Amino acid sequence: MPLFKQFFLQYFRYTSRINPFPFVKQLLTSHSLPMPLPYLLNKSFTIFLLSSLLICFSGNAQDIDLLLKGGHVIDPKNGISETIDIGITGKNIVKIAKNIPENTAKKTIDLKGYYVTPGLIDMHVHVFNGADTESYIANALTSLPPDGFTFRSGVTTVVDAGSSGWRNFRQFKAQTIDKSQTRVLALLNIVGTGMYGRLEEQDVTDMNPTMTANMITKMFPDILVGIKSAHYWGDFTQVDLAVEAGKLAEVPVMVDFGEHQPTNSIEALFMKHLRPGDIFTHTFSYGPNNRETIVDEDLKVKPFVFEAQKRGIKFDVGHGGGAFSFRQAVPAIQQGFLPDVISSDLHSQSMNSGFKDMANLLSKFMNMGLTMEEVVLRATWNPAQVINRKDLGHLDVGTEADIAIFTLRKGDFGFLDIRKTKIDGDKRLETEMTIRAGRVVWDLNGLSVPYWESEFK
């Protein structure tokens, strides 16, 4: 360091222009300077000099923009459940380690006593919000604008579950996906017009596997992550066409298998029609006249359900406004059957009923016996794998900084299903803060900001 200080002082006293390179050689092989430096320098050497000085005098450089310090991090993909710090620079995670020094960060948020997880992935929502009053979900009021309902519950990524088909997906992208801070991915409905109405969803002539697959593979492969089959009144025709499209596009198919009278066999669906990796949603729905249930009337999980899960069928909660019943969920969990993914089926008819938000939904499952690590897994890394987006759902260094911070409240709480029945619980998650791409987008109690008096300092 003294050598560089001498170098600095003598250089700025003089302005001579002499080839610097003999001096550099001498400098590298000597511990003292043999002659006044200015005679050894020219202007072309200035950049080298200033760069060297910057390195020498920046021992306390603040390379981290935002340091999340002291929180209990749960990152199932990496097997982490412990107190650890996270460093964010720009949009990305740059460091995750114990005891990262605060003087390496421009800003530090103290998260001691809080739980820190990857930003949640809600794999089943309806966010093709619009004003077509003739439509049910596609470009309709039933669908919700995502940013108003995601960050406040720790969600940073949503997957729209078939609101649009190949005919109207570009409208959905232009008016919702491209304008949202939330990362919006989508399953493309096998019906070309998507979920316009129940009648339109029966039109087999509008179920085109080739056009559906082409839109996924040739036009929007980074956004479209699968295919949806839903609300069909007939046999397996719609499912089979969706699976055909799934094979062409090499993506999974999600099936909403209700509204059949008499009910179609879910054993046949799981074992004969779906492929490993395909998704059965509304797992804990109870409507035996329209949808075969996974738990029988004696409250026993049907044996083939376990076999289907072993085969690779993915079971999604899809709570919604009419598709989650404790009489299905509680016995199933008690008998060791756990869903692969916990999702909301968010729309205007679900948000104020038994489903409140994703934090409440995770709490509901915790009070049915799952650990916090188990529920976080089912809302982060598991859905990321199901939709083949392994860049999401974890806290790897280098990934985009999508992070949720929760308080775990202890007390007496109640949790509802869609049948207006409830369970009691003693724990509930509350979303304290959400970070999307390195930026705080939800801060319930102002952890990330100073007190107002700081404006006068």
> pLDDT tens digits, residue range 109-129?
999 999 999 999 999 999 999
Q: What angle do CA 266, 270, 271 make, to 5 degrees?
A: 115
Asked if residue 409 lies in contact with residue 430, where contact means CB atoms within 8 angstroms, the answer is: yes
- Alpha-carbon distance of 304 to 290, in angstroms, equals 20
pLDDT range class, residue 32, cuts 50, 70, 90: very low
Q: Helix axis angle, 2-11 relative to 46-56, nearest 10°?
A: 140
Residue 48: predicted pLDDT: 54
Nearest partner of 230 among 221, 220, 222, 241, judged by Cα: 241
Contact 97, 84 (CB under 8 A): yes
pLDDT score at 49: 53
Average pLDDT score over residue span 77-84: 98
Inter-CA distances, 126 with 144, 169, 207, 320, 350, Å: 7, 13, 20, 10, 10
Band of residue 353 on the pLDDT scale cut at 50, 70, 90:
confident
Q: Does position 139 have pLDDT exceeding 60, yes or no? A: yes
Alpha-carbon span 105 to 88, nearest angstrom: 9
What sign for the dihedral angle of Cα 343, 349, 353, 357?
positive
pLDDT tens per residue, range 384-426: 999 999 999 999 999 999 999 999 999 999 999 999 999 999 9
CA 377/CA 16 separation, integer angstroms: 66
334's tokens: 């008690």
CA dist., res. 27 & res. 53, Å (int): 15
Instruction: Using the predicted structure, report yes or no on whether residue 50 has a pLDDT greater than 90.
Output: no
Give the pLDDT mean for 249-254. 98
Residue 46's pLDDT band, with cuts at 50, 70 and 90, is low
Q: Rounded to the nearest 5°, which phi and psi values hold at 163?
A: -60, -35
In angstroms, the Cα distances linking 64 to 68, 100, 115, 278 are 10, 10, 21, 41
Q: What is the pLDDT of residue 42?
A: 52
Instruction: Specify the amino acid at residue 44.
Output: S
Q: How many CB atoms lie within 10 A of CB 145?
A: 16
- For 416, counting Cβ atoms within 10 Å of its Cβ (0-12 exposed, 13-18 middle, 19+ buried), the class is middle
Whether the predicted pLDDT of 97 surpasses 90: yes
Q: How confident is the model at residue 262 (pLDDT cuts 50, 70, 90)?
A: confident
Q: Which of 136, 241, 223, 231 is nearest to 174 (CA)?
A: 223
The model carries a pTM of 0.87
pLDDT at 19 over 90: no
Q: Strand, coil or helix: what is 51?
A: helix
Contact indicator for 313, 278 with CB cutoff of 8 Å: yes
Q: What is the DSSP letter of 10?
A: H
**Residue burial 306-341, b: 16+ Cβ < 10 Å; e: rest:** eebbeeebbbbbbbbbbbbbbbbbbbbbeeebbbbb
Q: How many residues does the chain have?
A: 457
Percent of all residues in the chain with a pLDDT value above 70, rounded to a whole number? 87
Average pLDDT of the segment spanning 171-200: 97
Helix H, strand E, coil C: the string for 101-153 is: CHHHEEEEEECCCCEEEECEEEEEECCCECCCCCCCCCCECCCCCHHHCCHHH
Chain-centroid distance of CA 15 in Å reads 58
pLDDT digits (tens, 9 = 90+) for 428-442: 999 999 999 999 999
Between CA 215 and CA 222, with CA 220 as vertex, the angle to 5 degrees is 140
pLDDT, residue 52, reads 52
Give tens-digit pLDDT for 275-315.
Answer: 999 999 999 999 888 899 999 999 999 999 999 999 999 99
Task: Report the DSSP beta bridge partners of residue 137.
Answer: none
Give the type of residue at 141.
L
pLDDT at 37: 46
Alpha-carbon dihedral sign for residues 303, 242, 120, 136: negative
Domains located in the chain, CATH noted: 2-56 (no CATH), 118-436 (3.20.20.140)
Q: Is the pLDDT of residue 40 over 80?
A: no
Cβ atoms of residues 335 and 301 within 8 Å? yes
Q: What is the pLDDT of residues 319-349, one digit of tens each?
A: 999 999 999 999 999 999 999 999 999 999 9
Cα 210 to Cα 198: distance, rounded to the nearest angstrom: 23
| pLDDT at residue 241 tops 90 | yes
Is residue 227 very low, low, confident or very high in pLDDT (cuts 50, 70, 90)? Answer: very high
Average predicted confidence (pLDDT) for the chain: 90
CB 195 within 8 A of CB 168: no
168-184: pLDDT as tens digits:
999 999 999 999 999 99
